[in-house]
Amino acid sequence: MDDGARTRDLLGHNQALYQLSYNHHQMEPLISFCGGGFQPQTVDFRPIPMVGVVVGAASIWRIPRLHWKPGMPDTTQNESLSLAVPIAGLPAGEIMPPMSPDDPTWAVMDGWVDPLAPRCGYRTPSGKTAIAGENGAKAIAWENAPDSERCLMTGAQTWRDYTATCRVQALQETCGPCLDGHQITWASAGLVFRMETSRRYYYFGLQQKHRLVLFRRSDDEWAELASRIVDYHDSVITLTVEANGDSLRAACPELGVSFFAVDTQLKSGKVGFRARGECRLFDLQVSMNPAQRRLNQRLAERATGWTAQLGTTLPDEEKIGELTLPANATILEAGNFVAPEANHLLLKTADGLEAVDWSGRTLWHFEEPVGKHKVGAAAMGSSRRIYAMVGERQAIERDSVRGQALRQTLADEIVVLDGATGAVLNREKLPELPDADKVNRFDFSFETGRLTSDSAIDFVVRQWRFDCGDGGRDLWAYDGDLNLLWHHAVDPPYGHHNAVHLVDLNGDGLTEVMAGGTLLSSTGEIISTHDRSREQLEIAGAHHYDAVLAGHFSGDEEQDPIAFLMGGSSGVYVIDPLTGQTRSFHRVGHAQWGMVANLRDDLPGQEIMVGTRWGNYGILSLFSGRGDRLWSIQPDYILQGTCPVQWTADGPQHIWLNTSRAALGLYDGHGRLVKRLDGLRDLWGNRLPGQCRCDVLRRTPDGPDLLAFGIDDTTHLFAPSR
Ligand SMILES: [Ca+2]
Ligand SMILES: [Ca+2]
């Protein structure tokens, strides 16, 4: 029995604690809570009502006896630790600008991160400016803007016990809504501690300049632990929190407030300052006494040991070769489009498409610049068809989410290529658009399917529109010979590339078209529309369904088919796609994309991974195939490129996180890092996020999956060691 299974048995029916334990890979005796004998000191003591505080604490208390290693080295660091934001060392002006990684303030602020505006993350202002405050004292200023929420955090996911203090001046009462919370209208400034994700943490601070509040946030749930109305008038105040086991203390001496609360929900995490709306931060310090420091170090060692132990049953990565690609070529995919028994690589080059074998030898070259492409799901004869968009009706220059210049082209034609030879089988004009000025691209449905043809070679052309936040409304269905079958415009709009799918949901052998919140038959009739689409569209930051997954995921015929609608800031709707009826919804943040994989052999069917973007990048949430949310993690604060990886011949898939060196590794279906991939970490070196290219490729149709890791001009291939 592995440790996870033991934990589960021990906790028995206590599902919430079981999940927390899994999330944090650490079980620690709650010494300070159980033995401290603390008494509430203030009028505002309010223990939160919660199922089984005592039971929960007792359960957690017992776990270390299974995991405790008496021989663990004593770190004997009998020194306290103190960290302070070096405000005095900051030059005046914007600090930590995300898209300027060489800005000198990054070095000054080494050790501090802003999860809401991370270095090399995405195109967003830092929102934090160093200024000279009153009496010449330097401060960091937060600005007055709806999207002004920013943080300064330090520490590690394993930090549990510590003290944090800040000196702050709050200058704004209301603020919002923002992409992270359509319902938030209050400005706030205060301390964050035990941050598990940027949407899950404890917080103590001023709200709307008239209330001091200590709360636990879990996504859109704000559980207030203590609060008091205060008489505040723009003065600089001191906020202090101390977390020790389950006991949370919070105080503001200037306003005469001292809170004490007991809460068991958040076990550990980073600590720092977070504010929405205009305010000034004059000081921010985090400290640990020697006992706290030793504890936190032991928790970090425990987590490392846990990863090593979990990884022992998985093969290490072994470098098996390198790919030599033509200059400026990118890998589109590896697949058996040439012949059924072997996989080849499909490359995109500046002047077209190229098929190469694994030694880099060119099989064919299609010499027309290609925008979007799609490889047919079914073979025609021995090869697959490749559909590609070519030509240029119009083009625009834009910045990508990550700040790079992009040239986006509205294509003119579709061509069909023979995957074996690259020969053009057919070509056809793309539809004429009466409102072409509102459209920046055509695109293909996420997969080909069977609309009228005998095999899955039909597809749908979709669009990206400026007036739908890069989503779209129009759908044009084609058969594999490029005959236009039907055209339909849907309302509500669908979203990005992963929002239009061809999938057989009713089992008649023909594929339906799931386009955002609308399901259409293979012949273009509307079958259903999401019943909460109006609500979804009214939520700020949710102007389309960013991504959609529909299929038979649950392994339970009572539940299938099922669809997951990733609705931007409205979160995730789990619906019956045949009726459009919502079964459940989950406010996970700005849900932007999703993928299907079998990450858990102990759960029937497949699991759904959902990632967030705007307002809270990098949160990954796993759902069961029937729509239950299992856990959320946030290994870094950058767009999470998660690829499902079949790393063993049998057993569940894993996910490969590769957006930063900090997050790099294979993770299991419990959200645990199980393989650090040190070989890749060595290659990564000190490169910044975005400077390594990562693909999961299969050399043969049966696998195994290879990790393709591109650094500079070389693509290194790693396979599971034998
Ligand atoms: Ca069907
Ligand atoms: Ca499963």
Cα of 577 vs centre of ligand 1, distance in Å, is 12
Ligand 1 centroid distance, CA of 564 (Å): 18
Question: Among the listed ranges 22-31, 187-196, 282-291, 697-706, which one has the minimum average pLDDT value?
Answer: 22-31
d(CA 608, ligand 2 centre) in Å: 10
Ligand nearest to the CA of 622: 2
Compute, in angstroms, the gap from residue 7 CA to the centroid of ligand 2. 20
Q: Tell me, in angstroms, the distance from the centre of ligand 1 to residue 452's CA.
A: 11
Q: What angle do CA 116, 121, 123 make, to 5 degrees?
A: 85
How far, in Å, is the centroid of ligand 2 from the Cα of 237?
A: 51
What is the mean pLDDT of the segment spanning 127-156?
91
pLDDT (tens digit per residue) in 697-711:
999 998 889 999 998
Question: How far, in Å, from the CA of 551 to the mean position of ligand 2?
Answer: 14
Rounded average pLDDT over 544-569: 96
User: Across residues 649-664, what is the average pLDDT?
Assistant: 93
230 domain-assigned: yes
User: 496 CA distance to ligand 2 centroid (A)?
Assistant: 26
DSSP string, 424-489: EEEEEEPPP-TTGGGEEEEEE-SS-B-SSSSSS-BEEEEEEEGGGTT-EEEEEEE-TT--EEEEEE
CA–CA separation, 604 and 595 (whole Å): 17
513 CA distance to ligand 1 middle (Å): 9
> Which ligand has the minimum distance to the alpha carbon of residue 577?
1
Decide if 679 is inside a domain. no
697 CA → ligand 2 middle, Å: 22
Q: Pick the ligand that lies closest to the CA of residue 604.
A: 2
Residues 6 or more apart whose CB falls under 8 angstroms from that of 402 comprise 99, 120, 121, 122, 123, 639, 690
* CB-based contacts of 721, cutoff 8 Å, min separation 6: 315, 316, 317, 318
User: In the predicted model, what is the mean pLDDT of the chain?
Assistant: 88
Here the CATH number for the domain that contains residue 118 is: 2.60.120.560
Length of the chain: 722
Residue 12: its pLDDT value, please? 27
Q: Within a domain: residue 268? A: yes
- Which of the four pLDDT bands, split at 50, 70 and 90, describes residue 77? low
Ligand number nearest CA of 450 is 1
**pTM assigned to the model:** 0.88
Structural domain including 126 reads 75-311
Query: Which ligand is closest in space to the CA of residue 598?
Result: 2
- Following CA atoms 26, 29, 33, 36 in sequence, which dihedral angle do they give, to the nearest 10 degrees? -140
Residue 582 Cα to ligand 1 midpoint, Å, equals 21
Q: 15-19, 546-550, 594-598, 640-644: which range is least confident on average?
A: 15-19
656 C-alpha to ligand 2 centroid (Å): 17
Ligand sitting nearest the alpha carbon of 519: 1
Q: What's the number of domains the chain is made of?
A: 1
Q: Look up residue 115 and give its two tokens.
A: 């999860």
Q: Is the Cα torsion angle 32, 34, 39, 45 positive or negative in sign?
A: positive
The answer as to whether 282 is a domain residue is: yes
- In the numeric block, which tokens belong to residue 698? 């299969």
Strand partners, 548: 565
Q: Is 492 helix (H, G, I), strand (E, B) or coil?
A: strand
pLDDT at 52: 28
What's the pLDDT band for 101 if we cut at 50, 70, 90? very high
CA of residue 601 to ligand 2 center, whole Å: 5
Residue 102 lies in a domain: yes
Q: 520 CA distance to ligand 1 centroid (A)?
A: 10
Give the mean pLDDT of 560-577.
96
CA of 653 to the centre of ligand 2 (A): 9
The pLDDT of residue 176 is 82
Asked if residue 608 belongs to a domain, the reply is no
Q: Is the peptide bond before 177 cis (omega within 30 degrees of 0)?
A: yes
Cα of 510 vs centre of ligand 1, distance in Å, is 4
Asked whether residue 8 is assigned to any structural domain, the reply reads: no
Radius of gyration of the chain (CA): 27
239-276 pLDDT per residue, tens: 999 999 999 999 999 999 999 999 999 999 999 999 99
- Please give the pLDDT value at position 453: 96
User: Which ligand places an atom closest to the C-alpha of 511?
Assistant: 1
Distance of CA 165 to the CA centre of its chain: 30
Is residue 205 assigned to a domain? yes
